[in-house]
Amino acid sequence: MTKIFPYKYDIEDLDNGLRLITVKTGYPNLIALYIVVRAGSRNEIEPGKSGFAHLFEHLMFRGTDRFSSEQYDEILKNAGADHNAYTADDRTVYHVVFSSEDLEQMMMIEADRFQNLKVPIDLFKTETRAVLGEYNKNASSPLTRLLEVTRDTAFTTHTYKHTTMGFIRDIENMPNMYEYSLEFFDRYYRPENTTIIVAGDVGSESVLPLVNKYWGSWQRGVYTAVVPAEPAQNSPRHAHIDWPTPTLPWVIVAYKGPAYSDRRKDMPVMDLISHLGFSESSDLYQRLVIREQKVDILMPLFEDHQDPFLVMVAARVKDPADIHGVSDHIISTFDSFKKAEVPGERLEGVKSHMRYDFALRLDNSQAIAAALAPYVALAGEPETVNRLFDTYAGIDPSDVQHMANKYFDISRSTIVTLCHTGK
Amino acid sequence: MESVLLPGSSPIVTFRILFRAGSALDPKGQEGIASLTAAMLSAGGSRSQRYEEIVEAMYPMATSFRCQVDKEVTVFMGETHVDNLDRYYRIIRDMLLNPGWRPDDFKRLKEDAVNYLKVSLRGNNDEELAKEQLYNFIYEGMPYGHENAGTIASLERITEGDVKRFYEACYGTSIMLLGLAGGYPDRFPSQVEFDFAGGLTTGNESELVLPQPKKITGLHMQIIEKETRGTSISLGFPIAVTRSHPDWPALLVAQSYLGQHRSSNSFLYKQMRQVRGLNYGDYAYIEYFPRGMFQFHPDPNLARQQQIFQIWVRPVEPQNGLFALRMALYELRKLVRDGISLEDFESTRRFLTKFVNVLVGTQDARLGYALDSRIYRIREFPVYVKEQLGVLTAQDVNRCIRQYLQPDNVKIVVVTQDAESFRHAALDDAPSPITYGSPMPKQVLDEDRQIENYHLGLTADRISILAVDDVFQKP
C-alpha cells in the first residue's frame, strides 16, 4: 500500500536536542513554519496553576530585549504573515505562514522569542486579563462547560482533569503568579522539548543552516515533569450542569481510553470505533439524527493523547425528556462492539474513509504542517502517520471486539448531562 | 450558465456550484425559505436516494456536500478525490437536479434552522448574535433585514410546497455559475454544463434591485439582555463601497490597518487588548464576515451589492462594557480625524500585498475568490489587489476614510446581562472609568480620561432593550 503521508521530508537533530523536520511539499510561494513545544496543560502539575501553558501561548507574543512586541508585529506585518498559536493538553504550537523570501527573517525572530522572551510584570498582568476575556468569550457555549465538567469528573489525579484554559479560579488568580510564569518558561521552553516543522517548496539544505545559525546556541534544560498517574476507576461517575439560559440539553458519555500509539492497536481501534459507532454513517447517527430526529448533533471526541485519556461521545438532544434515552443508546452502541464482531465490509469502508479524509486534507503547505504537528508532538516524527495507517490496515473485526471489551466497561465511564431548567 | 474553471494537477477536484439567489429573495412572511431550500438540496435526499443512503455512499470517499446561503448568493460546495469523481458527481447532480422533497428531511432541516437561531445564535454565541443582529438593525424592513436562516415564526409557516415552488422559481441556469478546480478530466466541465442545462430551466435573469439603506442619524442602540459572563458589542453603518467599486482597495487598507480580522497587527487590537487587556480581540470589516469566532479568513461567495462598515468588540467584562463601546467609537473618530500615517499606510499595503496569497492558499479558496471576481467584475482577485495596491497612495486611503467612515451616525448592538443598567449608563452619558490591576503608562491613563468622557449623545427613543428570546423571533 502507498504511504498515506506522501511527501519527502528530512529530520535533523541539533546538538542541543532541537529537532528540525523539513517537508518539501512542492506548493509554491508560501512557507508554513510550525514550532511544536511538547508542553501543554498536561504539564501543569502543581495545584492552583492550571492554564499556564495556555497563558504562555499569549505571553510569547509580548517581546524580547531585541524586539518589542510592536517590532515583532511590524516584522510579521511586513512579511504579510498569517500567524497564531494554540495550546492543547500535550503541546503548544506556534505557527506562521509567509512568503518564501522571508524565511530567514522569520527564523530569526522566532528563535529570538523562544530564547529571550522578556515580559515585564505589568504586561504580564494585562495579558492575564486577555486570557480571562478568552474564557469569557467561550463561556456562552454549553459544550465548553460540558467538557470542563466531564474532565473534572472523570479524572481525580492526572492533569487531564482540567481543560487547556484552566480552572476559572486559577485564571482569576493569574495576575498574582508572575514568578511562577518565569519558572514555567524556564522549565519547558527548551530545545529538547521543541520541534520545528518547515513545509513548503524548500529543502533542508536551505533551512538547516538558518536553524543552526539562529537556534544553535539555545541551552538545553534539565527539568522533567512528573505527571501523576490516574488511578484505575472502579465505578461509574455522573455529573449534571444546570445551564442558566435557554439551550438544548446535552449529554456526554465518556470511557477511560488508551494513550496514543502507532504500533499497539488500542488507540487505532478506538479511532475506528469512533467512525463505526458514531460518525454520520453509523447506525446510531442515522437513527437518532435522521430517522427519529431526537438529536441534532452527535459528535465522537476520540483524541490522541500522550497518556491515557477519554473516548467521548457528545449529543445535543432536542427534547429534555429524551436525554436519558439518548444516553442509553450511546452506551448500548459502545456495548454492541463488545458483543459481536463488526462486519468486515463495514470496517473496510471506515478505513477507506479515514485514508481519503487524511489525504484530502493535505492540499497546501500549511495544512500539511498543521496535520503533522500533533503527531510530531506525540511521536517525534512524521513516519508515525504511516505506521498508524499501516496499523489501521491490519485491524480486523476480532481486534475491535477485543479492545471494546478491554475499555468499554461501565465502571470506567463518566456521564455528564446539561440542561436549562429555568428554575 | 457561466463557468469558472481552474484545472490543475491536484488529485482533489473541488466543486462550487453557485446561484445568484439568496435570502434577499425570501418573500415577506417566508423569511428563511432560500436557506431551507438550499438545505433540502444539500442535506436532504434526491429522488433516487434517501439522505441516509447518500451519507452512506459518500462516507467511504470521505466526501460531503454543503451549502452556504447569503443575501444574494447560494453556493453548493464539495470536493472529492479524482478516483471517486464519477461516483461523487452522480450523487450531487441528482441532489441538485432531482431533489427528493421528502417530509422527514423537511422536518429535520426546519428544526435545524430553528435550533440554529434559537440555540446556536441566541443561546451559545453572544459575539455572533451581536454581529448578525447588527445587520437586521441596519437593514430593518428591507430585503437584507432578516437573518439568512429566517425567523422562527416565518420558518414555522413555510411548507414543503413553498420550498419546492421557491426552487422551481429561483434555481435557473441563467443565474448559475459553475466553479470547478483540480485534476478533473478535460471533458468533465462540458458534461456538467450539459447535465445542468438539461436539468434546470433558464430561470429569471433579472438582477435584484435593492432600495438604498436608510440613513442613520446619530447613535442608535439595541441592547439584548441575557444571562452571560461578558458584554459583546458590534457597531456599524452602511458604506457605498463593494469589491467592484474603485475605492474598495483604499478602504481595504483602512480596514486592515484599523482591525484586520483575528490579527494582532491591527490598531484596535493593540489598543484595546494588548495595551489595556480589555478582551480577546477587536476587529473591523468592510465586507460581511460570518462565523468569525471559528475562523481566521473570510469564506468566499458572500458577494453583496451593499456592505456595511463594522467593528466587532469581543466580550469584555460587564463593568467595562460602556468604556469598550466608547473606545471603539473614539478610535474610529480619531482615524477619521487624523487618517493613517504614511508609515502605517506603507506597512499595511506591504502586508496586504503578501497576505492576499494566504487568502487564496487553498484550491477551494482560489475557486471561491475566482467566482466572486466574476460577480464583482474584477480581475483575478490576488492580481487585482496587488495591482491596485501598487498604485494606491496614502492620500487615496485618507480621502476614502473621510468619505466613507464616520463615528457619529452608527447603529450599535450590545449583548449583556443587566440591560437596564447599561441603558441607564449610556443615556446618562456620565464618565465610565476603567480600573486596571497593574500600573499603566501616563499616556494611556490620559487617553482613558478622554475615552471615558466620550460624548455619546444617545436619547431614550434611540435605545431599545430586547429580551434575547425576541431576537430572530419574527420578521
Residue B273 placed within a domain: yes
CATH number where B85 lies: 3.30.830.10
Determine the distance in angstroms separating the CA of A332 from the nearest CA of chain B, rounded to an integer: 21
- B456 with B310, same domain? yes
Determine the distance in angstroms separating the CA of B111 from the nearest CA of chain A, rounded to an integer: 9
For the cut 90, the answer to whether the pLDDT of residue B433 exceeds it is: yes
- A126 with A250, same domain? no
Residue A124 placed within a domain: yes
Strands A92-99 and A82-87: antiparallel
Q: Which residues of B touch A356 (CB under 8 A)?
A: 60-63, 81, 84
Residue matched to cell numbers 515585564: A120
Of residues A78 and B432, more confidence is placed in: B432
Mean pLDDT of chain B: 96
Q: Which residues of A touch B264 (CB under 8 A)?
A: 61, 73, 83
Bridge partners, residue A87, by sequence: A92
Average the pLDDT over B52-65 and give the result.
94
- A210 with A268, same domain? no
* CB within 8 Å: B81 and A359: yes
Provide the pLDDT for residue B437.
Answer: 85
Determine the distance in angstroms separating the CA of A84 from the nearest CA of chain B, rounded to an integer: 8
- Tally of domains in chain A: 2
Point out the domain boundary residue: A180, A215, A250: A215
Nearest by CB to B279, which of A99, A130, A367? A130
Give the largest Cα separation in chain A, rounded. Answer: 66
Residue B214 placed within a domain: no
Residue A229 placed within a domain: no
- A287 with A377, same domain? yes
For the cut 80, the answer to whether the pLDDT of residue A422 exceeds it is: no
* Domain residue limits at A178: 8-215
> Which three cell numbers mark A408?
468499554
Residue B475 placed within a domain: no
Q: Which residues of B touch A98 (CB under 8 A)?
A: 354
Point out the domain boundary residue: A215, A245, A262: A215
Residue B124 placed within a domain: yes
Q: Which residues of B touch A133 (CB under 8 A)?
A: 230, 273, 277-280, 314-317
- A210 with A269, same domain? no
B194 touches chain A (CB under 8 A): no
- B385 with B426, same domain? yes
Q: Which chain B residue has its CA at the smallest distance from A368's CA?
A: B362
Residue matched to cell numbers 483602512: B254
- A376 with A250, same domain? yes
> Which three cell numbers mark B435?
480600573
B358 touches chain A (CB under 8 A): yes
For the cut 80, the answer to whether the pLDDT of residue B145 exceeds it is: yes
Provide the pLDDT for residue B329.
Answer: 98
* CB within 8 Å: B357 and A357: no
For the cut 80, the answer to whether the pLDDT of residue A1 exceeds it is: no
Question: At a CB cut-off of 8 Å and minimum separation 6, what does B58 contact?
Answer: B64, B65, B88, B91
Q: Which residues of B touch A128 (CB under 8 A)?
A: 277, 437
For the cut 60, the answer to whether the pLDDT of residue A423 exceeds it is: no
Residue B406 placed within a domain: yes
Distance CA(B335)–CA(B332), nearest Å, equals 5
Is the pTM higher than 0.90? yes
Here the ipTM equals 0.87
SS3 label, residue B261? coil
Residue B206 placed within a domain: no
- B181 with B259, same domain? no
Residue B165 placed within a domain: yes
- B291 with B153, same domain? no
Provide the pLDDT for residue A245.
Answer: 87
Distance CA(A322)–CA(A341), nearest Å, equals 29
- A83 with A135, same domain? yes
* CB within 8 Å: A296 and B115: yes
Residue A171 placed within a domain: yes
Q: What is the DSSP letter of B269?
A: I
Tens digit of each residue's pLDDT (9 = 90 or more) over B77-101: 999 999 999 999 999 999 999 999 9
Point out the domain boundary residue: B133, B168, B199: B199
B363 touches chain A (CB under 8 A): yes
Inter-chain Cβ pairs, chain A and chain B, closer than 8 A = 196
Q: Which chain A residue has its CA at the smallest distance from B55's CA?
A: A281
- B179 with B317, same domain? no
CATH number where A57 lies: 3.30.830.10
- B377 with B454, same domain? yes
* Domain residue limits at B342: 219-470
Residue A230 placed within a domain: no
Contact A142, A243 (CB under 8 A): yes
Q: Which chain B residue has its CA at the smallest distance from A296's CA?
A: B112
Distance CA(B454)–CA(B429), nearest Å, equals 8
Give burial (CB, 10 Å; 0-12/13-18/19+) of B453. Answer: middle
- B35 with B112, same domain? yes
Distance CA(A59)–CA(A62), nearest Å, equals 5
For the cut 60, the answer to whether the pLDDT of residue B231 exceeds it is: yes
If pLDDT is split at 50, 70 and 90, which confidence band does A267 have? very high
For the cut 90, the answer to whether the pLDDT of residue B19 exceeds it is: yes
Q: Report the percent of chain B where pLDDT is more than 70.
A: 100
Residue A264 placed within a domain: yes
- B101 with B238, same domain? no
Residue A1 placed within a domain: no
- A272 with A393, same domain? yes
Residue A187 placed within a domain: yes
B470 touches chain A (CB under 8 A): no
- A80 with A193, same domain? yes
B303 torsion bin: left (phi>0), alpha (psi -120 to 50), beta (else): beta
Determine the distance in angstroms separating the CA of A313 from the nearest CA of chain B, rounded to an integer: 19
Residue A276 placed within a domain: yes
Q: Which chain B residue has its CA at the smallest distance from A144's CA?
A: B124
* CB within 8 Å: A140 and B124: yes
Tens digit of each residue's pLDDT (9 = 90 or more) over B274-327: 999 999 999 999 999 999 988 999 999 999 999 999 999 999 999 999 999 999
* CB within 8 Å: A82 and B226: no
Tens digit of each residue's pLDDT (9 = 90 or more) over A136-170: 888 888 999 999 999 999 999 999 999 999 999 99
- B245 with B148, same domain? no
- A173 with A254, same domain? no
Point out the domain boundary residue: A185, A215, A245: A215
Provide the pLDDT for residue B178.
Answer: 98
- Tally of domains in chain B: 2
- A415 with A295, same domain? yes
* C-alpha A337, offset from chain centre: 26
Residue B208 placed within a domain: no
* CB within 8 Å: A98 and B60: no
Bridge partners, residue B311, by sequence: B235, B284
* CB within 8 Å: A318 and B229: no
- B176 with B238, same domain? no
- B309 with B438, same domain? yes
Tens digit of each residue's pLDDT (9 = 90 or more) over B437-457: 889 999 999 999 999 999 999
If pLDDT is split at 50, 70 and 90, which confidence band does B203 have? confident
Average the pLDDT over A60-88 and give the result.
90
- B193 with B261, same domain? no
